[in-house]
Amino acid sequence: MMNEVERAFELYGKRLYAYMRRLGLSEVEAEDGVQEVFIRAMRSSIDWSSPKGYLFKIAHNWAMDVLRSRMPLIDEEEGYELSAGKDHFEDVHLLLQSLKEEERSVLLLLYQEGLSYHEVAELIGKPENTIKSIVHRAKAKLRKEV
């Protein structure tokens, strides 16, 4: 089992870290999150031959708990102007931060991690059509911001 856990860590550790950073966690929080994901996964009985969905589900839930526990970093009522001098990554980061936590998470899981609508729906625990509605609303917000 340990070899399977190590293999899963090698395959998904950096991706889980990057996912949690994109959700808005600090470096330390994301590092703690990766550790917590693997601790929780090792305590449960999962199929280590294909752990991706389960690991991201744990990461998502853990990150949402952390984000809910602290004050919002960005007031969602405020608008953002993207200056031409900013790096493209910073622009995208600001745009994503203007979304609600759930919207940001769904977009990252779909487009960054390459999960399907069905996989995201299972991971978050909402119907697939709800996930599609969340994506539609999030994209509309992003179009307004740009």
- Are 54 and 89 within one domain? no
- Are 66 and 13 within one domain? yes
Tokens at 28, concatenated: 């330390």
In this structure, what CATH number is given to the domain that contains residue 61? 1.10.1740
In this structure, what CATH number is given to the domain that contains residue 107? 1.10.10.10
- Are 1 and 67 within one domain? yes
Q: Which range marks the domain in which residue 111 is found? A: 81-146
76 within a domain of the structure (yes/no): no
- Examine the fold and report which residue of 19, 43, 71 is the final residue of a domain before the chain moves on: 71
pLDDT digits (tens, 9 = 90+) for 126-146: 999 999 999 999 888 888 876
Dist. CA 30–CA 36, nearest whole Å: 10
- Number of domains the chain is built from: 2
- Alpha-carbon torsion (48, 49, 55, 58), positive or negative: negative
71 exposure class (CB count in 10 Å sphere: 0-12, 13-18, 19+): exposed
Percent of the chain past pLDDT 70, that is, above it, reads: 81
pTM over 0.85: no
pLDDT digits (tens, 9 = 90+) for 43-65: 988 888 889 889 999 999 898 88
- Alpha helices (runs of H) in the chain, residue ranges in sequence order: 2-22, 27-43, 52-69, 88-97, 101-107, 117-124, 128-145
Dist. CA 99–CA 103, nearest whole Å: 6
- Are 37 and 58 within one domain? yes
Instruction: Give the relative orientation of helices 52-69 and 2-22 as an angle to the nearest 10 degrees.
Output: 40
